[in-house]
Each structure stands twice: as structure tokens, then as C-alpha cells.
Amino acid sequence: MRVLVLGGTGAIGVHLVKNLSKNGFDTYVTSRSYKKAENNLNYLQGNAKDISFLKEILSEQWGTIVDFMVYSTDEFKTRFDLLLNSTSQYMFISSARVYAESIQPITETSDRLLDVSKDSEFLLTDEYALAKARQEDILKNSGRKNWTIVRPYITFSEQRLQLGVFEKEDWLYRGIKGRTIVFSSDILSKVTTMTYGLDVSKGLFSLIGKQKSLENSFHITASECYTWDEILNLYLSIIEKYLGFRPKVLLQNMNGFLELHPGKYQVKYDRLFNRRFDNSKIKQYLDLNVFTNPITGLKKCLEGFLMDPKFKPINWRLEALKDKLSKETTPLNEIPGVKSKIIYIMYRNISLATIKKIKSILN
């Protein structure tokens, strides 16, 4: 079977394409940069959000299309027909963030935020959780039967280690540099479910080509759940073991924390919920005993990362705000580029109110 993976270079996709290739699937992956083909793993260089490029690669039929791309709802409306017409199975990667708060473990039929939220301001947005739910509805109302919806939740890997809403660049970078990790006191006590990206890819693989998976939704998550406090203390213990010191932690109230993370709806309508999942539906296709225990997996991934740490670009405006809160200072020789240095100095030393006044004058 020929499988096309759109945007398959992330924490889940890299494992999925390897698994597909290893099991004899003719696998094609879109990538914005050049990558060399290996055996039956081929790369199509281009931007999968570019409709012209998409039409070109969809001019031929595919057995399964796995779509990791993130679209606005308007973008999805312009291409869902094209995608459905080009394959026997269109696998839409949605998100378990679509679910509303639930006291009971979440099932695939649990309420979604889009359907039950009373927050009119939130519903006017195309925020990630709402966009994914609207796009699910487009598929369900398409009149077609060749779609499968998959809802992963928080995934981790050797290069992705989250703490609440923070990526590793927002918390781990500070920790290993000896500066205080700034986090939310409100999120700390909430229960979360984190799943190794490799395990999610196994779940995806188990659904490919399965007739009974069509017109169905699945979430793929670990069975175990933990509080963010437990996750944070695991991280701190591993850092202490490898680097010889335990980073300090400063807990912020919600108003203060939202100054450090502008995505307020991700906080309000996800990380402030307790997230436990009933994953029995995917068990029809996959033995979940093969999944890595999240604590074991996080430990392995963080230890591996600390052996050769590589970070994506750091947000120096937010680092300045965190340093201001913790009364610390980042050495300027650690900050690359003149522009980043200026941004850091300004936000570290001038009040936000004054910065807003300066911006209003300049505008």
C-alpha cells in the first residue's frame, strides 16, 4: 500500500514513517527541506499547506493519507474534498484538547468544548481546540465514509518535554542554566496524561487500512495519569542527578502566569482541567501493554536530552519577564544577536506599563 504522510516530521510522525517503511509500505512524507530517500521511504519537498503543491501530490491516488498539518477552519474547507477524493482512508490528526472538562475518564463520545462551552468570546475564535472540532464536523458532514479521526493528547519525545503549557525551551533551558523555573500554582495540582510519541505512532499504524476504523474517532493515550507536580518533581530529580544541582521553582498565580503564556484558552480550557482517558476503544486494534509507562519514558527522554541538549530558538522577551520575577539576570553573551539583546534588556528592566506606553507613542 502507498501511504502519504503530510507533515510527518514531528514527535509522532518520525516514528510512524519509520514503522511504515519497516513494514513494507511505500511511504511518502512531505517535508519543507530536502531529505534523502531511504529504501521505501521517500520525501516530497514542499509546503503541504500550499494548495498548489497539495494538488500536485494528490493528482494520484493513495491508499492512506495521514494528515498532521494544522489548518485554520477556512483553510480546511478549501481542501477537505481534495483530500477525501485522493485516498481510500483519510486519517485526520485532531487533538484530545477538543474535549470539555469531565469528571469521568474521557471517552470518544465525551462532550467537546465546541458543543457545550458557554463562553461566547471563546466560541468566536478559531482556537486550536475549536478549529480541530470544527474540522472533525466538516468530515462527519461531508457525506463521505473514508475518514478516520485520531485525537492524541500531550506527547513527549527525546526532543519534546512539556511542563504544563511550556515547551522545553520555556522551562528546561532555564533549569539547566541554573535559573529559576517559573510555573503555575494552579496547573501544578491538575492531573494530566502524557504519552510517548512512539506509542502514539503505534496506535496510528494499527488503524491504517482497517475498514472498521472508517467513520470512527479514536484517542490514543497512555493508561496512566499523573499530576503536573509529580511530573515537575521527576524532571527536577533527573536534572539534579545529571547536573549536580536541583533547579529552583517559582510558582505564579494565574494572572501572573498568563503574562508568560499568551495562549489563555489553552490554559483555561485544557491545562486547568484534570485529563484522564478511557482508551479501551483503541484496544480493539492494539495491545496497550506495549506502551511505555510515562514516568519511565519521560526519564529516558530527559536523560537522553541532557546528554546532548539542543534547543529551538529561545523567546528572550519571556525570559526577561521570568528573570524579573525571579530577580535573576541572563548574561548578555548567552543571548544571540543585537535585536534579542535589546528585547531582553528592555523587558528585564522596564515595566510592562511603560513598554506599552512607548509602543503606543511609536505606533
What pLDDT does residue 339 have?
96
What pLDDT does residue 217 have?
98
Beta strands (DSSP E) in 35-188 are 41-45, 62-67, 87-93, 147-152, 154-156, 181-184
CA distances to 34, 42, 83 from 48, in Å: 14, 15, 12
pLDDT tens-place string over residues 299-319: 999 999 999 999 999 999 999
Q: Please give the DSSP secondary-structure letter assigned to residue 66.
A: E
Residue 25 host element (H or E): none
Q: Show the domains of the chain with their CATH numbers.
A: 2-307 (3.40.50.720), 316-362 (no CATH)
What pLDDT does residue 97 have?
98
What pLDDT does residue 355 have?
78
Regions of the chain where pLDDT drops below 70: 362-363
What pLDDT does residue 131 have?
99
Q: What's the grid cell of residue 104?
A: 469521568
Q: Are strands 62-67 and 2-6 parallel, antiparallel or unpaired?
A: parallel
Q: What's the grid cell of residue 100?
A: 470539555
What pLDDT does residue 107 have?
98
What pLDDT does residue 363 have?
66
What pLDDT does residue 213 have?
97
**How many whole angstroms separate alpha carbon 164 and alpha carbon 258?**
12
Query: 226 in the Ramachandran plot: left (φ > 0), alpha (ψ -120 to 50) or beta?
Result: beta
pLDDT tens-place string over residues 247-293: 999 999 998 899 888 789 999 999 999 999 999 999 999 999 999 99
Report H helices in 181-293: 185-188, 197-207, 228-243, 254-258, 264-266
